[in-house]
């Protein structure tokens, strides 16, 4: 990995320091600054980690300029069109596409873990009915540490494996239960005769009073949404999972931390915010007003579903998602969907606008996903939980990679301190 031909030299305070350079298999070279503080007594400064590689990884590669997203080397559009979610899970977790026998074994293992401990049902009942399903998920996933003691020892590879399978298997059950609880309907137990996506739709939409048949077209679209969100390199929630687990915390607590981070509107919460924005815009003639607001420096409003820290050309997931939105609406016979009209026109106008072109702002994965999910019958509050359940495999794969790395250290960033220097305490009567 170290490239002996290349070194970086930093000059500071009259001295120069040679820093090793690593050449990745793809992407920009990386300068190793780990010894900088010991050798030069200085820190580097990079709030928001815009130029900092926090780890090495072999899972996902993004070329933001070219709009490339690869999982273990395979392009996302090929995976979305040819593979299915559990196969992608296997690929992310173990590094290679499975053989037919490996896939069957993996699917059986996941399927056998879909139920949650019966006593966990009481946890759901402790929440207010109007709790956001993300709030419920953060709590219930964290509570898994209290139920699955036989898979919390991170030093035991077998326990790590069991925790991984449990999280992938139970997350749809937990998300669906959070939804059912919020609308006052009875929970549905998982059905192991259905595939992963179809079972999730069943748990969300079946009611005891009626027979529910999963529409295979919708379950395929659901599966594709899961694939498109499965992993995304060292984003905010994944880095949160890594940082939380660097202290040795158990996997359920770490994934709960990831869910909490994902919830924010600048990250996974953008899909809910985007659909709410499209509804607020309401009709094509109001688009210029919202574009003007997005460009106004004094207005905090941003076009939700637009922009990305890494993609500066296009988000390859958004391309597949847009195509999926067209297909799903078409198959459901939803013609002239006003939200889709607004979304398409908003995208067209924004892409022609100098402000968005200059800042390289393009629709991201969240721009179209909400339209599909709403057409399927999900309320906006379920959009981010669906993202969380899809991303669980990415968090788990990155967690496993990190725990298995002998170089693992607790994450401990430093700071540029700008506060008061030492001063003496003053008694309250003298202040
Ligand atoms: N609408 C209007 N202006 C925007 C937008 C937007 N959606 N996104 C960025 N900008 C502008 C900023 O105001 C800033 O302008 P300035 O340089 O004049 O100050 C510039 O573009 C750069 O923006 P930053 O916030 O510095 O870029 P950063 O890489 O930190 O943020 C982010 C990326 C958070 C995704 C941002 O584009 C955003 O808030 N988008 C809307 C929310 C969203 O869709 N998030 C989902 C991301 S994808 C995901 O998590 C799955």
What's the pLDDT band for 339 if we cut at 50, 70, 90? Answer: confident
Q: Give domain status of residue 427, yes or no.
A: no
- Both 397 and 344 in a single domain? no
- Both 258 and 143 in a single domain? yes
The total number of structural domains in the chain stands at 3
Closest CA to 360 of 306, 322, 288: 306
Regarding predicted confidence, which is higher, 248 or 332? 248
**Residues annotated as catalytic (active site), given as ranges:** 308, 366
Q: Which of 307, 347, 349 to mutate to test the pocket of ligand 1 (most atoms within 8 A of CB)?
A: 307
Q: Give domain status of residue 203, yes or no.
A: yes
Q: Which domain holds residue 356?
A: 270-376
Q: Give domain status of residue 129, yes or no.
A: yes
What's the pLDDT band for 359 if we cut at 50, 70, 90? Answer: very high
pLDDT of residue 295 exceeding 90: yes
Q: Give domain status of residue 237, yes or no.
A: yes
Rounded to whole angstroms, what are the CA distances from 59 to 23, 72, 96, 110, 400? 17, 5, 10, 21, 11
> 119 CA to middle of ligand 1, Å?
42
- Both 209 and 124 in a single domain? yes
Burial degree of 323 (CB within 10 A; 0-12, 13-18, 19+) = middle
Provide the pLDDT for residue 110: 97
- Both 39 and 179 in a single domain? no
- Both 295 and 160 in a single domain? no
Is the pTM higher than 0.85? The answer reads: yes
Task: Please give the order of strands across the beta sheet that includes 74-75.
Answer: 60-63, 68-71, 74-75
How much of the chain, in percent, has pLDDT values that exceed 70?
A: 100
pLDDT of residue 132 exceeding 80: yes
Q: Give domain status of residue 410, yes or no.
A: no
> 189 CA to middle of ligand 1, Å?
40
- Both 233 and 319 in a single domain? no
- Both 261 and 205 in a single domain? yes
Q: Which residue has the tokens 């992407």?
A: 27
Beta strand extents in 138-289 (DSSP E only): none
pLDDT of residue 130 exceeding 90: yes
- Both 243 and 260 in a single domain? yes
For residue 280, give the CATH number of its domain: 1.10.230.10
| Average pLDDT of the residues of the chain | 94
pLDDT of residue 241 exceeding 90: yes
What's the pLDDT band for 423 if we cut at 50, 70, 90? Answer: very high
- Both 277 and 199 in a single domain? no
For residue 213, give the CATH number of its domain: 1.10.580.10
pLDDT per position as a tens digit, 361-385: 988 888 888 888 988 999 999 999 9
- Both 345 and 304 in a single domain? yes
Q: What is the number of the ligand 1 atom nearest to the C-alpha of 308?
A: 35
Q: What is the number of the ligand 1 atom nearest to the C-alpha of 48?
A: 30
Q: Give domain status of residue 168, yes or no.
A: yes
- Both 363 and 387 in a single domain? no
Provide the pLDDT for residue 371: 86
Token digits for 335?
């013609």
Sign of CA dihedral 128, 129, 135, 137: positive
For residue 19, give the CATH number of its domain: 2.20.28.60
Q: Residue range 251-260: average pLDDT?
A: 98
Q: Residue range 97-126: average pLDDT?
A: 96
Q: Residue range 37-57: average pLDDT?
A: 96
Query: Residue of the nearest CA to atom 29 in ligand 1?
Result: 309
Closest CA to 83 of 318, 320, 262, 271: 320
Query: Residue of the nearest CA to atom 21 in ligand 1?
Result: 359
Tell me which of 339, 359, 376 is where a domain ends.
376
Q: Give domain status of residue 69, yes or no.
A: no
> 56 CA to middle of ligand 1, Å?
26
pLDDT per position as a tens digit, 200-233: 999 999 999 999 999 998 999 999 999 999 999 9
pLDDT per position as a tens digit, 30-44: 999 999 999 999 999
Q: Give the pocket of ligand 1 (CB within 6 Å).
A: 266-268, 270, 294, 302-309, 359, 361, 364-366
Give 308's contacts (C-beta < 8 A, 6+ positions apart).
Answer: 64, 315, 362, 364
Provide the pLDDT for residue 367: 87
- Both 241 and 386 in a single domain? yes
Provide the pLDDT for residue 366: 85
**182 and 209 in contact (C-beta within 8 Å)?**
no
Task: Find the range with the poorest average confidence among 7-21, 45-59, 315-329.
Answer: 315-329
Q: Give domain status of residue 171, yes or no.
A: yes
């Amino acid at each position: 990995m170290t490239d002996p031909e290349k070194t970086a030299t930093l000059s500071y305070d009259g001295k120069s320091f040679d820093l090793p350079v690593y050449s990745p298999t793809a992407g920009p070279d990386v300068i190793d600054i780990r010894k900088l503080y010991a050798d030069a007594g200085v820190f580097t400064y990079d709030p928001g980690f815009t130029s900092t590689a926090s780890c090495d990884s072999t899972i996902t590669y993004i070329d933001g300029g070219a709009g490339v997203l690869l999982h273990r080397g395979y392009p996302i559009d090929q995976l979305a069109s040819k593979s299915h979610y559990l196969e992608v899970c296997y690929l992310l977790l173990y590094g290679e596409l499975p053989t037919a026998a490996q896939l069957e074994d993996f699917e059986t293992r996941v399927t056998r873990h879909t139920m949650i401990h019966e006593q966990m049902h009481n946890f759901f009942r402790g929440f207010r009915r109007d709790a956001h399903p993300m709030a419920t998920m953060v709590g219930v996933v964290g509570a898994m540490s209290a139920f699955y003691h036989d898979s919390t020892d991170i030093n035991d590879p077998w326990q790590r494996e069991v925790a991984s399978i449990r999280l992938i298997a139970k997350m749809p059950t937990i998300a669906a239960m959070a939804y059912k609880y919020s609308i006052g309907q009875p929970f549905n137990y998982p059905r192991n005769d259905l595939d992963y996506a179809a079972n999730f739709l069943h748990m969300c939409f079946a009611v005891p009073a009626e027979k529910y048949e999963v529409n295979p077209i919708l379950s395929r679209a659901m599966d594709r949404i899961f694939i498109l969100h499965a992993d995304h390199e060292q984003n905010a929630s994944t880095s949160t999972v890594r940082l939380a687990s660097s202290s040795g915390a158990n996997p359920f607590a770490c994934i709960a931390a990831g869910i909490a981070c994902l919830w924010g509107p600048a990250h996974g919460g953008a899909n809910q915010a985007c659909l709410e924005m499209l509804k607020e815009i309401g009709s094509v003639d109001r688009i210029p007003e919202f574009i003007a607001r997005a460009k106004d420096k004094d207005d905090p409003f941003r076009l939700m579903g637009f922009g990305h820290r890494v993609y500066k050309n296009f988000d390859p997931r958004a391309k597949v998602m847009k195509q999926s939105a067209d297909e799903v609406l078409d198959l459901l016979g939803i013609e002239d969907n006003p939200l889709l009209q607004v979304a398409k026109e908003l995208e067209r106008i924004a892409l022609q606008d100098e402000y968005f072109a200059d800042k390289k702002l393009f629709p991201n994965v969240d721009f179209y996903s909400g339209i599909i999910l709403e057409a399927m019958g999900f309320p906006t509050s379920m959009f981010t939980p669906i993202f969380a359940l899809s991303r669980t495999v990415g968090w788990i794969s990155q967690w496993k990679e990190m725990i298995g790395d002998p170089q693992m250290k607790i994450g401990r960033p430093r700071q540029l301190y700008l506060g008061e220097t030492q001063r003496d305490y003053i008694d309250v009567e003298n202040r």
